[in-house]
Structure 1
Amino acid sequence: MKQSDSPNIPVPNLGVALIPIVLTIGLLGIQIFYYDDFTPHIALALGFAITALVGWFQGYRWKDIESGAFHVLHVAMPAVATLILVGMLVGTWISSGTVPLLIYYGLELINPAWFLAASMLLCSVVAVVIGSSWTTVGTVGLALVGIGTTFGIPVYWTVGAVVSGAFFGDKVSPLSDTTNLAAAVTETNVFDHIRNMMPTTIPAMIIAFCIYLIVGGEANVEAAQLAQIEQLKAGLKAHFDMGFLPVIPLLVLMGLAFFKVSPIPALFIGCCFGALVAVINYGYNLHDVLTIAHSGFKISSDSESLNTLLNRGGVTSMTWVVTLIMFALTFGGALERTRCLESVVGAIMRLTRGFRGLQTSAILTSIATNVVSGDVYLSIALPGRMYGPEYDKIAYSRLNLSRAIEEGGTLISPLIPWNAGGAFVIGALGLSMGAGDFSALLYIPLSFACWLSPAIGILYAQTGWFSKRAEATAPRTAATPQSDDYVVKTPKETSDAGLGL
């Protein structure tokens, strides 16, 4: 990204670079914790304004800051389109009976004693197969939340298990765009990258599985709950077909993912098949399915729990999430354009000594970029490009770096509410975010696999365990990239963004 007609402006000093970051975090804290209102949109907009003002004092013109913000928005548009399509998918798949069928047979097959552990494993497998945490959360995850609710399991426990499984499956899937991005920016082989993540992935998954198994084992379903479950199953069976037709949209989507069809057309085709099944099976007309795709599915049954479970989806259900992501990315783009992020990363690099400090810094930088910018792509691309040459200097493999940025990038993104990943989880699963009620955010500490992995990665960095040395190869010629070199780009300019989130 060029600087238009502006002169070559140097990187700001650390004190100046921290001004917009610290003030924005302060505004977010006041909005969320003092006023008990989780609507961070305007705080992030003010953060963008503060960053623009800092940039203006540095010598940047408005069109430079604007182009930086809009560039990141442009790159993120496939992810925004994916969000919108998942909203449409949820609505049409409920109307087709696909989601109700998954809930019905989930109630039949999954025992509440091991529900959480099974949910994590199921989401892991689906995410690995299709390469998408977002699609897994919006389809299978949504069904599991409904099942868990009927079992009397708190929703934040179920969401924690779903997020742990979905984002870990995404992390180790060769079909995921974030996995391919981490390998690309560190110039490593994607399959070597996946293999090198196993030392942190496997222990984190085993620990999380054991916790979910123990907690799930305490969920004893009482007679009243069993009666409620049977009533819900009866309601699902009365209103929806439990035969083969509702399975078709799911099979189509999984088939398209298997054949590596780009996610945006794949999700749209999945919506179309859901709408088609709704028309054939339930007699909806064109106007009905268009309304459902836009405004979500609506049912008025005698069962309040059934209504609460199924009245969701549609483009409008994603409005809060999409606008939040746009505000966050605009702020992150301005920080990147004014080189504030580069200044912070540079200061960290100057403090690192040896592999232990470098590896730990890479993980923490990726996490911090996730928190500040709200963009998972930037949290992978920025430290991936900036730290790469430092690993070459100390003769350690860049596979250590690719693992670090996946742990601080892909896995941490769903745990940050204003990040694209966290905002998606909140929106897709319909988590209640009323004034002063943050109980839904309890899923964050309960997504054990997501934060255990970077914690284990830091442990390995300090002990030297599973820290791969560089192989004897021809020296790299690439210099440490400057600000124009780490513009946020995914493989194919993020044309495949979405199935990997």
Structure 2
Amino acid sequence: MSNVEHYSKGTVVEGVRQPLLGLALVPIILTLAVLGIQLFYFGDFTPHIPLAIGIAITAIVGLSIGHKWSRTEEGIFRVINVSLPSVSILITVGIIIGVWIASGTVPTLIYYGLIILSPEIFLAAGMLLCSIVSVSLGTSWGTVGTVGLALMGIGAGFDIPVYWTAGAVVSGAFFGDKISPLSDTTNLAPAVTGTKLFDHIRNMLPTTIPAMLIALIIYTVVGFTLIETDQVSFERIESITSALQENFVISPLMLLPAALVILLAVTKQPPIPSLFAGAVAGGILAMVVQGAGIHDVFSFANGGYKIDTGVSEIDSLLNRGGIQSMMWTISLVLLALGFGGALERTRCLQTIIAAIISRVKSFAGIQASATAASVATNLVAGDPYLSIALPGRMFAPVYRGMGYSTLNLSRAIEEGGTLVSPLIPWNAGGAFVVSALALGVGDGNFENLLYIPLAFACWLSPVFGILYAVTGIFSPKASDMEKAEWVENNEEITKL
């Protein structure tokens, strides 16, 4: 029985009736409605309760088709458990932000950035810097929380709108997460589609390179046209750099924690120990160079750094970090993961994806549907891992049946999963971006959400992927070797 037949006809699997399409859509539609009321009617950017209500609605739908609560609960905790490494990274990045500010690492990056960079090239240079760091580290979150935070300070000094800086940071950081062999999502996409890691990375270059080049051109043009140098207050820059020098020891030595993390990443050490080693190095510098006590470092790591320089731009940027600053994001991530786990366990997502597959017959349609399925899973389930794993499992037999390489699928779900994640504020990636870059959305400052359309590389890449599918270029057919591997591994094939 094919995946399409398996999930679209209300059949009984494992003693449980599959939801029909209308019923499968109920928890998603109702949850999005409650979320819309919370966000747009009440003006309150706290998606937590709507997602909790979504879990309850999904559980009720599950009960109506024979799922006991224990089964739904098992699905919730299974997805949460799979994504715990991401939560661990969030905690570690929270520690790093607080400690690296105290150590002078972030202040030094801001100081040198204001001196070396010019407003005209800032956005383009910021995107490239985040790209390089993210490819090296293999983590977009680590890049956003460290280098990205420093760039937000530099952008504030140049009086560049927050959303433009955030868009450039997100474009660069998540580009690296997309093609770095150290990235977890870059390894997950080929794993669920049965392709090889470096074949997968090579196959993403035709969409990645033009998307990044266009983004680079746009940021450069904006820097030289929309941002007028004569309007940049050099007195303001002087006040920021002077305040940094008065409150921190500014020296290239302060960049050692960042250099250590990059070195460990390049030598293929695991990301969490590498990031934690950077936090330890930062703590040592904070005590030895900046004069902090060991209890102060512990406090910075847990509750974040606190300072009053008298310069509002510095205070608003540097008063942050610590594990506790990540709790809003972590609680949102856990609820979003729980909602995604409930939808997967009750097979609502599978039913919807199968309905899409059954109605699409062309390769271009399947490629667009796979990308859209990853985007939609990101949107309703809030989890980049689920948005890669679920469509990857569901669509793979269809690609095999059409004779196309599943490299096309791994690219589609990587782009719809990894790259779209930071563009959805209640998604794990988007929630982290909003929190780490201090976009103030929780205070009703929705203007800063303009970073979403301004993160050009993130949404241009899947657009190129769909265009290639329509034209047939960069859309490889399955090789004889790949087909032989399908037979050897008894891979399922769905004929359309």
TM-score by length of 2: 0.94
Partner of 2:156: 149
Percent of aligned pairs with the same amino acid: 57
Letter in 1 for 2:71: D
Partners of 1:350 and 1:22 in 2: CA distance: 21
Partners of 1:92 and 1:257 in 2: CA distance: 19
Partners of 1:373 and 1:424 in 2: CA distance: 16
Report 1:204-215 matches (<5 A).
204-215=211-222
> How far apart are residue 246 of structure 1 and its match?
1.1
Report 1:294-309 matches (<5 A).
294-309=302-317
Partners of 1:128 and 1:243 in 2: CA distance: 26
| Contact 1:292–1:314 (8 Å) recurs in 2 | yes
| Contact 1:138–1:429 (8 Å) recurs in 2 | yes
Partner of 2:85: 78
Residue 168 (1) aligns with residue 181 (2): no
Report 1:309-328 matches (<5 A).
309-328=317-336
Partner of 1:487: none
Partner of 1:197: 204
Partner of 1:360: 368
Partners of 2:339 and 2:187 in 1: CA distance: 25
Letter in 2 for 1:40: P
Residue 478 (1) aligns with residue 485 (2): no
Residue 460 (1) aligns with residue 468 (2): yes
User: Deviations along 1:180-205, whole A, 9 cap, x unmatched?
Assistant: 11111111111111111111111111
Letter in 1 for 2:210: P
User: Deviations along 1:357-403, whole A, 9 cap, x unmatched?
Assistant: 11111111111111111010011111111111111111111111111
| Contact 1:386–1:480 (8 Å) recurs in 2 | no
> How far apart are residue 224 of structure 1 and its match?
6.6
| Contact 1:36–1:437 (8 Å) recurs in 2 | no
Partner of 1:233: 241
> How far apart are residue 243 of structure 1 and its match?
2.0
Q: Secondary structure at the match of 1:409?
A: helix
Q: Secondary structure at the match of 2:221?
A: helix
Partner of 1:109: 116
Letter in 1 for 2:58: T
Partners of 1:447 and 1:303 in 2: CA distance: 29
Q: 1:480 to 1:25 in 2, by over 3 A?
A: farther
| Contact 2:153–2:313 (8 Å) recurs in 1 | no
Residue 267 (1) aligns with residue 310 (2): no
| Contact 1:332–1:375 (8 Å) recurs in 2 | yes
> How far apart are residue 221 of structure 1 and its match?
3.3
User: Deviations along 1:183-240, whole A, 9 cap, x unmatched?
Assistant: 1111111111111111111111111111111111131234771011012111112221
Partners of 1:244 and 1:147 in 2: CA distance: 17
Partners of 1:352 and 1:65 in 2: CA distance: 30
- Runs of 5+ consecutive residues of structure 1 not aligned to the other structure: 1-5, 482-501
Partner of 1:94: 101
Q: Secondary structure at the match of 1:410?
A: helix
Letter in 2 for 1:88: I
- What count of residue pairs does the alignment treat as equivalent? 476
| Contact 1:127–1:166 (8 Å) recurs in 2 | yes
Letter in 1 for 2:352: V
Partners of 1:349 and 1:224 in 2: CA distance: 53
Partners of 2:331 and 2:231 in 1: CA distance: 44
User: Deviations along 1:20-50, whole A, 9 cap, x unmatched?
Assistant: 0110011111111111111110000000000
Letter in 2 for 1:22: I
Query: Which of 360, 375, 384 lines up with 1:376 in the alignment?
Result: 384
> How far apart are residue 287 of structure 1 and its match?
1.2
| Contact 2:158–2:232 (8 Å) recurs in 1 | no
Partner of 1:488: none
| Contact 2:46–2:442 (8 Å) recurs in 1 | no
Q: Secondary structure at the match of 2:478?
A: coil
Query: Which of 403, 406, 427 lines up with 1:395 in the alignment?
Result: 403
| Contact 2:357–2:366 (8 Å) recurs in 1 | yes
Q: Secondary structure at the match of 1:328?
A: helix
Q: 1:345 to 1:224 in 2, by over 3 A?
A: closer
Partners of 1:273 and 1:199 in 2: CA distance: 39
Query: Which of 338, 349, 367 lines up with 2:357 in the alignment?
Result: 349
Partner of 1:489: none
Partners of 2:231 and 2:54 in 1: CA distance: 52
Partners of 2:131 and 2:53 in 1: CA distance: 38
Partners of 1:304 and 1:25 in 2: CA distance: 37
Partners of 2:358 and 2:76 in 1: CA distance: 28
Partners of 2:125 and 2:232 in 1: CA distance: 24
Residue 54 (1) aligns with residue 61 (2): yes
> How far apart are residue 164 of structure 1 and its match?
0.4
> How far apart are residue 62 of structure 1 and its match?
1.2
Partner of 1:128: 135
Q: Secondary structure at the match of 1:424?
A: helix
- Runs of 5+ consecutive residues of structure 2 not aligned to the other structure: 1-12
Partners of 1:50 and 1:14 in 2: CA distance: 16
Residue 44 (1) aligns with residue 51 (2): yes
Letter in 2 for 1:395: G
Q: 1:226 to 1:79 in 2, by over 3 A?
A: same
Partners of 1:25 and 1:143 in 2: CA distance: 34
Partners of 1:395 and 1:464 in 2: CA distance: 14
> How far apart are residue 435 of structure 1 and its match?
4.7
Q: Secondary structure at the match of 1:478?
A: coil
Partners of 2:279 and 2:386 in 1: CA distance: 30
Partner of 1:247: 255
Report 1:1-12 matches (<5 A).
8-12=15-19
> How far apart are residue 247 of structure 1 and its match?
1.6
| Contact 2:104–2:290 (8 Å) recurs in 1 | no
> How far apart are residue 354 of structure 1 and its match?
2.3
Letter in 1 for 2:367: Q
Letter in 1 for 2:309: S
Q: CA RMSD in A?
A: 1.4
